[in-house]
Amino acid sequence: MRNGFFKGHGLGNDYLALDPAELDFRVTPRRARLLCDRHEGVGGDGVLLLAASRKAHFGLRIFNPDGSEAEKSGNGLRIFARYLYATGRTRRRRFRVETRGGLVDVALHLDRHGEAGDVTVGIGRARFEAAALPCTLSGELVDRELDVGGRRLRFTGVSVGNPHCVVFREPGESWTAQELRELGPELEHHAVFPRRTNVQLAVATGPRALRLLIWERGAGETAASGTSACAAAAAAVRVGRVKSPVTVASPGGSLWVEVADDGQVTLRGPVAEVARGRLSAALVRRLRR
């Protein structure tokens, strides 16, 4: 289908999947912003663009709704995997995807309808060194202090192929949406994170359970995020707040994360198809301007 799109979501985090070979325009940051616009475009939390790869079965470029490119997305990868299988681009149930944040192994779990309703993603190794995010601080970013708008916070910085800043509260306490909206943008754009960062406000709710509020780089407040769940789980295991495997709850629902002794992180969670369609001729003309 010329100028066709596939839309899916993982726990309410929705993306558009596109094949550039079927488009009458090249996807650019400006065009990604218009596609993601919920009033003038199709609407979504990002664009998943099929790409060629010499290292994996498929390549993937991920655009945030502000037009910036993300290195990796746990929900995006699960949606992309379902897109590939649902549209007949693969019949494999296990395959590899190359992202800007590294190679990722994917396993599909088919439901009774033969659809990939659940997907496991090998996200990669969690890294806590400042250079991995990057961050202008030195050494490991484990339980470090940071001044945020005159407020002193302790955070753990972790990369799972993209950067994350995890801030914990003690068990029994909670974070509010208002705090997320205040701290999220300040931390995302903090001077110590030269490429910005994703933010998780986290609380351990059990020996193997976390609850998160999420501020995504380039997207803002988000109901769910796969790499955020992975980063928060890895950070919580590292500082001794939980043990693996971890159930990570966010406003959109729960994901399951395993953190191995060597730091390798595996994510599993649901994914759903929302719609397939064709971009209108009028929208394509706007995109080509």
Indicate the domain borders of the chain. Answer: 4-123+271-288, 130-262
Best CATH choice for the domain 130-262 from the list 3.10.310.10, 3.40.50.920, 3.30.70.100, 3.40.640.10: 3.10.310.10
Q: How far is CA 238 from CA 37, 50, 126, 263, in A?
A: 38, 34, 10, 9
| Rounded CA separation 144/123 (Å) | 24
Give the pLDDT score at 81: 98
Give the pLDDT score at 149: 83
How many residues are there in the chain?
289
Peptide bond into 245 cis (omega under 30): yes
Angle at 259 between CA 249 and CA 10, to 5 degrees: 40
Q: pLDDT tens per residue, the chain (289 residues)?
A: 899 999 999 999 999 999 999 999 999 999 999 999 999 999 999 999 999 999 999 999 999 999 999 999 999 999 999 999 999 999 999 999 999 999 999 999 999 999 999 999 999 999 999 999 999 999 999 999 999 988 899 999 999 999 999 999 999 999 999 999 999 999 999 999 999 999 999 999 999 999 999 999 999 999 999 999 999 999 999 999 999 999 999 999 999 999 999 999 999 999 999 999 999 999 999 999 9
Give the pLDDT score at 150: 85
Listing DSSP states for 169-199 in one string gives: E-TT----HHHHHHHHHHHHT-TT-TT--EE
Best CATH choice for the domain 4-123+271-288 from the list 1.10.275.10, 3.40.120.10, 3.40.50.170, 3.10.310.10: 3.10.310.10
Do 4-123+271-288 and 130-262 have matching folds? yes
Q: How far is CA 137 from CA 142, 151, 155, in A?
A: 11, 18, 12
| Rounded CA separation 93/261 (Å) | 26
What residues are paired with 268 via a beta bridge?
120, 256
